[in-house]
Amino acid sequence: MGALLDKIEIPSDRFELRLSGSGGQGMILASVILSEAIGASDQRNVTQTQSYGPEARGGASKSDVVISPNEIYYPKAMQLDMLLAMTQESLDSYFPNLKEGGTLVVDTTLVTEFPTDNYYGLPFTQLAREDAGHIMVANVIALAAIAQLTGIVSREALTNAVLKRAPRGTEEKNKKAIDIGFTEAAKLKKG
Amino acid sequence: MADRKRVLVMGNHAVVEGAIYAGLNFYAGYPITPSTEVAEGCARELPKIGGRFIQMEDEIGSIAAVVGSSVAGAKSMTATSGPGYSLMLENIGYAYMTEVPLVVCNVQRGGPSTGLPTKVSQADTMQAKWGPHGDYTAIAVAPSTIEDTVTETIRAFNLAERFRTPVTILLDEVIAHSRAIINLPEPGEIDIYNRVKPTCSPEEFIPFEMTENLVSAMPAYGEGYRYVVTGLTHDPMGFTTNKPSEIFPKLDKLRNKIMNYREETVKIRTEQMEDAEIAFVAYGSVSRAALQAVDLARKAGVKVGMVQLYTIWPFPEKQVKELCANCRKVIVGELNMGQIVHEVRRVLPGDIEIHTLQRYDGEILTPLQLLEKLEEVL
């Protein structure tokens, strides 16, 4: 027993992200925007899956995005390369799925206890409310930060994808959110 | 839908894309999670192409409208999930008996009853075969990716039109609610089959004629061909019969029009089966996990393959038998307490060990679980 499983290696051509939080925080929409950004800008394959409860708001919500230059067999994440946790509950639930050396990004507005010191923390919700002008763009700030930290998608491709989905009248807020995300994440990387 | 290259499509919207490509012009339904995006997509797209979308009062009304519109010449579909599918069964049975082509997409969620609205299941596999009462032959297909949800939906319509019968698309929640970047088929890329219309005069028309392939020509109501449509067992003219000499042929027709041509219904994907000693048999979203497990296990030196069933019903027994003939062991993974495994057991010889892996907690089987099972049976 164990001989086969010991030999199994999760293929490194897959880059697996999980965006997680509470229902209403826009995690599923963020994963859709990220997938569309990659779809429109290069030739990689993308699958996006989601899981949520029967509630319209609240309850755990998560969405996986798998990116690969090759055919994606299993569409969900097997071993996360990156985890975004917007709430304490989602961090506690999904941190064990993050692989060793994987990137952890946390909303420090809502998360107070950390299972590791090795993480990137930004107060996405607070930045959205106070700097971008609306709490609803917290997910876009987080997306921009992820793009900055991982380089999985260009700023231009992400901006186009966000604006394609943004309701009319919210374009400026969303552009500002992208700017905040990139700028704040860049500071973290240097520090 | 101008862009057809590298577009991000959700599984439920892939059903809409496939259906419209196949000629869908009438949709009646009652929204239910996890199928609601099919209705939303049809409500958005059908008016643009001159089609009709109706939200009915419930699922019984929905399937009734789908049957009626098909008799009137439309290509019709509805989409639902377990609780709604159960309500539709009576009129699906009516469509079997009256030989009305239509497509029902059942996006499976956990059951029984209202069960798990947002969670995945494959527990309606047998219901797609034996849902309505009585004897008939069912056709059901099971997509596994976003791309093949488009093509399997097209195939469902083609089979419905070809055989004049209801066809079920057994989708599951994981596929329905996932998205992928895909290329949509270009116009003309995939053949579309339309029901055969009568060429005789209305006076000579025999509505349920025993043709050579047992599929009768089907005019649209309003085209001048008058005939009776009844759920009671009927003679070739469509009139109710109690004569054994007419009952036998009618029921044989329902079965043999499909079973005599069952090869036309079969679609299977195989992966690394050439030298496989162990095979996964899977369908729907589980086949994605199986494909991954095969890839990983092969890299670790295990001779394992996969047989994926796109056609669930009629069960492709000849193909499964032939493909697994050289295997020592078969592992059947399903998101239920064991349904298709009974078919696999029925058709495979007794010297092939059959193992099962069943999950019914609302989650999908993972590649790791399949690999653990593989290790256990090695």
Q: Count CB pairs under 8 A between chains A and B.
A: 94
Q: Is residue A110 part of a domain?
A: yes
Of the listed ranges A18-27, A176-185, B283-292, the least confidently predicted one is A18-27
CA distance B203 to chain A (A): 56
Q: Could you tell me how many helices (H) and strands (E) chain A has, helices first?
A: 7, 6
Quick one: which of B329, B330, B333, B328 has its CA closest to B368?
B333
Q: Which domain holds residue A92?
A: 13-122+146-170
CATH number of B7-182: 3.40.50.970
d(CA B175, CA B358): 18
Q: Is residue A8 part of a domain?
A: no
**A46 Cβ under 8 Å from any chain B Cβ:** yes
ipTM for the assembly: 0.92
Residues of chain A found within 8 Å of residue B375, distances taken between Cβ atoms: 1-5
C-alpha pair distances (Å), B63 with each of A3, B49, B129, B343:
52, 22, 17, 29
Q: Which residues of A130-145 are buried (b: 16+ CB within 10 A; e: fewer)?
A: ebbeeebbbbbbbbbb
**Number of folded domains that form chain A:** 1
Cβ contact, residue pair B295, A3, below 8 Å? no
- Mean pLDDT on A94-123: 96
Predicted confidence (pLDDT) at residue A56 exceeds the cutoff of 70: no
CA distance A162 to chain B (A): 14
- Mean pLDDT on A110-122: 96
- Which of A81 and A58 is assigned the larger pLDDT? A81
d(CA B88, CA B80): 9
- Mean pLDDT on A95-106: 96
Predicted confidence (pLDDT) at residue A180 exceeds the cutoff of 70: yes
CA nearest to B147 within chain A:
A47
B121: left (phi over 0), alpha (psi -120 to 50) or beta: beta
Identify whether the C-beta of residue B312 lies closer than 8 Å to the C-beta of residue B172: no
Map out the domains of chain B as residue ranges.
7-182, 267-377
pLDDT along chain B (378 residues), means of 10: 85 98 98 97 98 98 98 98 98 98 98 94 98 98 98 98 98 96 97 98 98 98 96 98 98 98 98 98 98 96 98 98 98 98 98 98 96 96
Q: Is residue A94 part of a domain?
A: yes
- pLDDT, residue B1, reads 46
Question: Across the strands, what pairs with B282?
Answer: B308
Q: Could you tell me how many helices (H) and strands (E) chain B has, helices first?
A: 12, 15
Residues of chain B found within 8 Å of residue A99, distances taken between Cβ atoms: none
Task: Kindly report the CATH number assigned to the domain that includes residue A31.
Answer: 3.40.920.10
Q: Is residue A103 part of a domain?
A: yes
Place of tokens 């009626």: B68
- pLDDT, residue A54, reads 65
d(CA B333, CA B335): 7
Q: Between 3.40.50.920, 3.30.1490.70, 3.20.20.70, 3.30.830.10, what CATH number should domain B267-377 receive?
A: 3.40.50.920
Tokens representing residue B106 in the block: 């059942």
CA distance A132 to chain B (A): 28
Percentage with pLDDT > 70 across chain A: 95
User: What angle separates helix B36-45 from helix B11-22, to the nearest 10 degrees?
Assistant: 40
Mutate to test the interface with B, among A44, A46, A49 (most CBs of B within 10 A): A49
- pLDDT, residue A166, reads 92
CA distance A27 to chain B (A): 14
Question: Do B267-377 and B7-182 have the same topology in CATH?
Answer: yes
Cβ contact, residue pair A32, B378, below 8 Å? no
Per-residue pLDDT of B201-241, as tens digits, reads: 999 999 999 999 999 999 999 999 999 999 999 999 999 99
d(CA B212, CA B223): 24
Percentage with pLDDT > 70 across chain B: 99
